């Protein structure tokens, strides 16, 4: 452990990795805070790999106790789903009740009552603690403009409800484990017959992750993603102002919704967690005033917004969900990880007109903030 002094503050003990991030000595932090340095696939992969969710290396409680009674493993659901998603495992959800509004489109039809297909990604909500599996659902048949049909449509199926509890609208996920998964489940005695039962969607000890360097770096990366995506959207607008357009392959076809199901409003308790950062340095490079430049800006903005951000956000929201469920006392005051000894949450505002937060000062230019709040969500009636 090393010491880091703050101006007008007592000496606080930090783990070296955290100290390097909050002082911007960490090489990843330096890249992300400098607009002139590009965010590459290699950098993103390295950051996501830090603190990744997985069953690998875990030693969970077996499914059965010594008397043969089911006691439910403490292996968490999301840590098991992440490796399945990484290999695009084909899963089946035999029964599923929509949690969000039912939507039917004129160019799609549903075959049967189950849902199955390869997992394409795992999805998180940025405001409430719901998590979903996105699959290319082979029970959906889509029709193009000339009437030709194709099997498969992308669908999100919620596995964790808006309130941060395992959603009761599904009862099982059927999959064929690969050799590695089967060996783990067998060696750790996690099978109860041919089924694995989960008690937690995120491990209780994961609450500490919000104080670690990997989490802080991912929060920083999300801020950089938003900043850079805004820049490329401005570039698109600038080129349009110059009369530069490119119609081929840019516009998404709007699907016509023919039926919308009934909805109702529910109150959802949640937690907002922020990381204040210093200002970005450097400048992004403007794209050329050409059709090729417009395509570059469009593709970069889409990659940042629809590919990169969801992947990073999923792990960040899982960490914050664990803090929300297991890192607060009965008064809503957060616990603090052991490597941040002598730190404490202090009530305050991030700006004169902001709501009241609990603030943990990490450096003169970086603080971790959270507040509890209740949101209104619209769900299927």
- 165 part of a folded domain: yes
- 260 part of a folded domain: no
Q: Which residue has the higher pLDDT, 63 or 26?
A: 26
* Per-residue pLDDT tens digits for 165-175: 999 999 899 99
CA distances from 266 to 65, 262, 379 (A): 38, 13, 7
* Per-residue pLDDT tens digits for 71-123: 778 899 999 999 999 999 999 999 999 999 888 888 899 999 999 999 999 99
- 363 part of a folded domain: no
3-state SS of the chain: helix, strand, coil percent to 5?
30, 30, 40
Q: Which residue has the higher pLDDT, 224 or 52?
A: 224
- 94 part of a folded domain: yes
- 212 part of a folded domain: no
- 194 part of a folded domain: yes
Average pLDDT over every residue of 153-174 = 94
* Per-residue pLDDT tens digits for 236-265: 999 999 999 987 656 566 667 777 889 999
Q: Which residue has the higher pLDDT, 146 or 287?
A: 287
Domain count, the chain: 1
- 136 part of a folded domain: yes
Q: Which residue has the higher pLDDT, 275 or 67?
A: 275
* Per-residue pLDDT tens digits for 177-196: 999 999 999 999 998 888 88
| CA–CA distance, 201 with 185 (Å, rounded to integer) | 17
Pair 227, 309: CB distance under 8 Å: no
The domain in which residue 173 lies consists of 77-206
| CA–CA distance, 9 with 375 (Å, rounded to integer) | 35
- 143 part of a folded domain: yes
Beta-carbon contacts of 52 under 8 Å, excluding residues fewer than 6 positions away, are 82, 315
Q: Has residue 299 got a pLDDT over 80?
A: yes
| Predicted TM-score (pTM) of this structure | 0.90
């Amino acid at each position: 452990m090393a010491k880091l002094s703050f101006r007008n503050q007592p000496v606080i003990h930090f783990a070296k990795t955290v100290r390097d991030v909050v002082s911007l000595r960490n090489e990843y932090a330096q890249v992300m805070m400098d607009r002139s340095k590009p965010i590459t696939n290699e950098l993103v992969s390295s950051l996501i790999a830090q603190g990744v969710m997985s069953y690998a290396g875990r030693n969970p409680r077996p499914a059965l106790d010594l008397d043969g009674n089911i006691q439910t493993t403490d292996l968490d659901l999301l840590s098991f789903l992440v490796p399945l998603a990484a290999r695009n495992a084909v899963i089946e959800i035999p029964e599923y009740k929509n949690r969000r509004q039912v939507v039917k489109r004129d160019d799609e039809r549903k075959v049967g009552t189950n849902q199955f297909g390869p997992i394409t990604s795992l999805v998180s909500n940025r405001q409430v603690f719901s998590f979903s599996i996105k699959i290319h659902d082979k029970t959906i048949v889509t029709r193009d403009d000339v009437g030709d049909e194709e099997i498969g449509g992308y669908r999100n199926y919620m596995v964790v409800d808006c309130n941060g509890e395992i959603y009761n609208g599904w009862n099982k996920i059927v999959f064929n484990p690969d050799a590695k998964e089967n060996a783990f489940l067998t060696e750790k005695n996690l099978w109860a017959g041919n089924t694995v039962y989960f008690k937690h969607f995120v491990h209780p000890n994961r609450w500490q992750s919000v104080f670690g360097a990997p989490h802080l770096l991912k929060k920083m990366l999300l801020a950089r993603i938003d900043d850079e995506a805004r820049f490329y959207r401005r570039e698109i607008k600038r080129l349009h102002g110059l009369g530069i357009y490119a119609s081929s392959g840019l516009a998404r076809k709007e699907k016509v919704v023919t039926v919308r199901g009934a909805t109702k409003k529910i109150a959802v308790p949640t937690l907002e967690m922020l990381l204040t950062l210093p200002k970005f340095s450097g400048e992004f490079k403007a794209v050329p005033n050409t059709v090729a430049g417009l395509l570059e800006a469009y593709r970069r903005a889409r990659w940042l917004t629809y590919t990169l951000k969801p992947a990073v956000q999923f792990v960040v929201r899982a960490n914050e969900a664990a803090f929300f469920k297991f890192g607060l006392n009965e008064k809503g005051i957060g616990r603090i990880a052991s490597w941040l000894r002598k730190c404490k949450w202090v009530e305050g505002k991030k700006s004169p007109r902001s709501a009241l937060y609990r603030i943990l000062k990490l450096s003169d230019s970086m603080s971790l903030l959270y507040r509890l709040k209740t949101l209104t969500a619209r769900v299927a009636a």
